[in-house]
Amino acid sequence: MTHEEFQNTVIQPSFNKPVLVDFWADWCDPCKILEPILDELAKENSDSWSLVKIDTDGSKEVAAQFDIMGVPAIRIFWNGELIAKYNGLMWKKEMGKWILDQLGITN
């Protein structure tokens, strides 16, 4: 993903609703565990936020721009700004709660 593509798929849409970015890599086993969790959460919360996945191996400049040193790495963008960061794996319940907490949404 280029810087321009990132602007078009993450930054611009974040002015409509928050965008959660999943920085991942094909060789990363925790990323493979997290992928279906994020897919499910994104589907369940499609009115509240959207999901974009970025392969760090194919997007080294974008990953470097956001100081992605390891994967999985989650970043949330809202109104064009980075508002939250998380590195590592969380199970569905905890990840769902963390996302809602970052967005100020109560259940």
| 42 within 8 A of 33, measured Cβ to Cβ | no
| 90 within 8 A of 26, measured Cβ to Cβ | no
Catalytic hit among 1, 10, 28, 73: 28
Instruction: List strand residue ranges (DSSP E) for 6-100, in order.
Output: 19-24, 50-55, 73-78, 81-87
Catalytic residue flag (residue 105): no
- C-alpha 47/C-alpha 91 separation (Å) is 21
Catalytic residue flag (residue 12): no
Catalytic hit among 10, 31, 38, 103: 31
Residues assigned a catalytic role: 28, 31
